[in-house]
Amino acid sequence: MSNRPIWLRGVLFIGTIIASAYYLTYIRYYAYEKKRLATQTPHLDEDYILEFYKEVAESSRKTEWTNKRVNRPWGE
């Protein structure tokens, strides 16, 4: 009996350990980044955001919609 199957099993086992460690590290980093980015988003009840929405609503009411269609010779 040769030592090759034992050596092959060892390589596969060590590769599995390394792949699992990489995966767990990636998941941990992903959760950390998701939590960090979630804490940086502003709250929707802040004054400057509400003021911006008011300005946008007022400016959209002031301008009437106009038909900007260009008449083409083949469309008449």
pLDDT of residue 45: 66
Question: Residue 53 class from Cβ within 10 Å (0-12 exposed, 13-18 middle, 19+ buried)?
Answer: exposed
In a domain, 75, yes or no: no
**Which pLDDT tens digit goes with each residue over 32-47?**
999 888 777 666 667 8
**Residue 59 domain boundaries:** 4-63
**Do residues 49 and 42 touch, judged by C-beta distance below 8 A?**
yes
Count: domains in the chain: 1
**pTM for this predicted structure:** 0.45
Q: For residue 9, is it within any domain?
A: yes
76 pLDDT more than 70: no
The pLDDT value recorded for residue 71 is: 77
Is 33 inside a domain boundary? yes
pLDDT at position 59 is 74
The answer to whether position 76 is within a domain reads no
Confirm whether 56 is domain-assigned.
yes
